[in-house]
C-alpha cells in the first residue's frame, strides 16, 4: 500500500474584538485570531498537511489572502477543498496529528469536542484525529497561536473489477505498426495521407 506524509504549519496573532475560531469551534474568549478568513489556525495547518501529502500546493494557492471571497470565510471550506484534492489524487486520510501552541484559552477542557468536530469535518473516525496543545514557553509568543500538523495518507485500493480490466488491457499484445498503417491506408487511400480533423468553431466558443 502506497502511503504519503504531509506537514502543515500556521500562525495567527490574537486581536481584540475578533471572534475566536479554533478546530471549527467558536470559542468564548476576549480575543480572536486575526486573519483574512476566520483565522482558524488548526484547520489551516491540517489543510496544508493534506495538500502537502499529495504535493498539491498550499492553502494560499487555492485561497489567496487578497481575494475578497475569502474575507471572514469559514475555514471548513478550505479543509473540504483539501479533502477533494486528496481524493482526486487517489488517496485517503489515515490519521492526522496536531500540536497547537498558544497561551490561552486552555485547550485541554475542550480538546474532546474539538477532536469530534475536526473528525466530522474530515469525515473520519475520532480515533484518527489527535489534537495536542502546549504553551509557548520561552518563545516570547504569548500573543500568537501556532499549529503544527502531520497527516498520513494512503492510496485508495483499486476495486477488484477495475483491477481485472486493467490486467486484461495490459496483457493485450501491442498493436503492430504495419497493421495500423494498412488499416489507415484502407480508410484514407494512402498510407501518408491524413485527414485533418474538422472542428465546428461555433461549438467550442
Ligand atoms: Mg492561516
127 CA to middle of ligand 1, Å? 25
Centre of ligand 1 to C-alpha 39, Å, is 6
Q: Is 24 left (phi over 0), alpha (psi -120 to 50) or beta?
A: left
Ligand 1 centroid – CA 35 distance (Å): 7
| Residue 116 CA from chain centroid, whole number | 19
Whichever domain contains 13, its CATH number is 3.30.1330.50
Q: At what angle do helices 41-53 and 76-88 cross, to 10 degrees?
A: 10
Tell me the whole-structure pTM to 2 decimals. Answer: 0.78
What is the 10 CA–ligand 1 centroid distance (Å)? 5
Q: Can you say whether the dihedral through the CA atoms of 104, 149, 7, 124 is positive or negative?
A: negative
Same domain, 100 and 170: no
C-alpha 18 – ligand 1 centre gap (Å): 15
Distance 204 CA to ligand 1 centre (A): 40
Position 195 scores a pLDDT of: 57
Residues 63, 140 within the same domain: yes
Task: Show the domain range for 148.
Answer: 3-155
Kind plus residue range of the DSSP H or E element containing 3? strand 3-16
Task: Judge if 134 and 191 occupy the same domain.
Answer: no
Angle at 133 between CA 129 and CA 137, to 5 degrees: 155
* Count of domains observed in the chain: 2
Enumerate the H helices of 91-192 as residue ranges.
111-122, 160-171, 177-188
Domain end, chosen from 119, 140, 155, is at 155
**Could you list the pLDDT tens digit for every one of the 205 residues in the chain?**
899 999 999 999 999 999 999 999 999 999 999 988 999 999 999 999 999 999 999 998 888 888 888 888 899 999 999 999 999 999 999 999 999 999 999 999 999 999 999 999 999 999 999 999 999 999 889 899 999 999 999 999 888 878 788 788 888 877 778 877 887 788 777 655 555 655 555 554 4
**Same-domain check for residues 124 and 196:** no
Cα–Cα distance measured from residue 150 to residue 6, given in angstroms and rounded to the nearest whole number: 6
- Cα of 101 vs centre of ligand 1, distance in Å, is 14
Do residues 21 and 68 both lie within one domain?
Answer: yes
Predicted local distance difference test score (pLDDT) of residue 204: 46
Greatest distance between any 2 Cα atoms in the chain = 82
**Rounded CA gap, 198 and 17, in Å?**
62
Distance 163 CA to ligand 1 centre (A): 41
According to the model, what pLDDT value does residue 165 have?
83
Amino acid at each position: 500500500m502506497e502511503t504519503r506524509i504531509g506537514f502543515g504549519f500556521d500562525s495567527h496573532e490574537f486581536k481584540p474584538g475578533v471572534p475566536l475560531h479554533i478546530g471549527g469551534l467558536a470559542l468564548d474568549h476576549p480575543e480572536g485570531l486575526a486573519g483574512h478568513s476566520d483565522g482558524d489556525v488548526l484547520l489551516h495547518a491540517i489543510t496544508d498537511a493534506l495538500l502537502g501529502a499529495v504535493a498539491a500546493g498550499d492553502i494560499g494557492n487555492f485561497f489567496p489572502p487578497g481575494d475578497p471571497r475569502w474575507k471572514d470565510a469559514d475555514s471548513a471550506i478550505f479543509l473540504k477543498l483539501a479533502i477533494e484534492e486528496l481524493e482526486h489524487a487517489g488517496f485517503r486520510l489515515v490519521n492526522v496529528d496536531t500540536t497547537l501552541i498558544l497561551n490561552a484559552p486552555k485547550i485541554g477542557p475542550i480538546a474532546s469536542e474539538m477532536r469530534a468536530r475536526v473528525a466530522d469535518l474530515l469525515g473520519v473516525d475520532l480515533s484518527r484525529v489527535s489534537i495536542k496543545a502546549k504553551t509557548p514557553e520561552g518563545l516570547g509568543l504569548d500573543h500568537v497561536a501556532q499549529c503544527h500538523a502531520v497527516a498520513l495518507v494512503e492510496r485508495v485500493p483499486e476495486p477488484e473489477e477495475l483491477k481485472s480490466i486493467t490486467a486484461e488491457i495490459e496483457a493485450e499484445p501491442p498493436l503492430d505498426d504495419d497493421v495500423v498503417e494498412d488499416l489507415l491506408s484502407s480508410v484514407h487511400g494512402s498510407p501518408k495521407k491524413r485527414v485533418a480533423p474538422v472542428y465546428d468553431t461555433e461549438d467550442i466558443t
